């Protein structure tokens, strides 16, 4: 179980993503903040039992094909890394749109998109973890992602060396 995520959300979002029947994305980067996660401007304000989200995200992997997106948004007026939360937004939610996809050199199996959130309403239960702790939660996820990328690089290099060694053993010069 993902800490801080209700059981219904596990069934609705995580189970299909893990089973490969749904595509997920993480929306952190913004046009004016770039990689400065603490400088994000996307806002989520609480209105009764819903979050109302407004803002723009850029360079979002799988953004155009995702079934749901974990959005990092400012949920209080605190600045910097404080007052930021993670909220799940199904992409079929009114007000959520892909404004454009970006052309890129590689990794064409996953798109990269710009997303716009204009008065997007989702239940407060779509909050992931603890309200106001989204920055810290996202930084933990980034650390895991970076470690996975390192392991993949080492595995790819080992595979390339094994294939090269095999080829050199069979090659007739």
As annotated, the active-site residues are: 145
Q: How far is CA 3 from the centre of its chain?
A: 17
CB neighbours (10 Å) of residue 78? 11
d(CA 101, CA 115): 9
Find out whether 120 and 98 touch, Cβ atoms under 8 Å. no
List the beta bridge partners of residue 100.
Answer: 114
3-state helix, strand, coil in the chain (%, to 5): 30, 35, 35
């Amino acid at each position: 179980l993902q800490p801080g995520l209700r059981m219904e959300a596990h069934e609705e979002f995580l189970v299909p993503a893990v089973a490969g029947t749904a595509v997920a994305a993480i929306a952190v980067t913004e046009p004016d903040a770039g990689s400065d996660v603490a400088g994000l401007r996307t806002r989520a304000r609480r209105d009764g039992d819903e979050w109302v989200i407004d803002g723009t995200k850029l360079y979002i992997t799988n953004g155009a094909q995702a079934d749901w997106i974990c959005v990092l948004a400012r949920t209080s007026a605190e600045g910097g890394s404080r007052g930021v939360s993670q909220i799940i937004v199904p992409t079929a939610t009114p007000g959520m749109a892909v404004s454009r996809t970006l052309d890129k050199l590689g990794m064409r199996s996953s798109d990269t998109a710009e997303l716009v959130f204009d008065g997007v309403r989702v239940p407060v239960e779509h909050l992931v973890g603890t309200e106001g702790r989204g920055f810290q939660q996202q930084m933990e996820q980034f650390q895991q992602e970076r470690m996975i990328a390192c392991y993949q690089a080492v595995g790819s290099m080992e595979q390339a060396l094994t294939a090269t060694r095999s080829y050199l053993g069979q090659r007739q010069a």
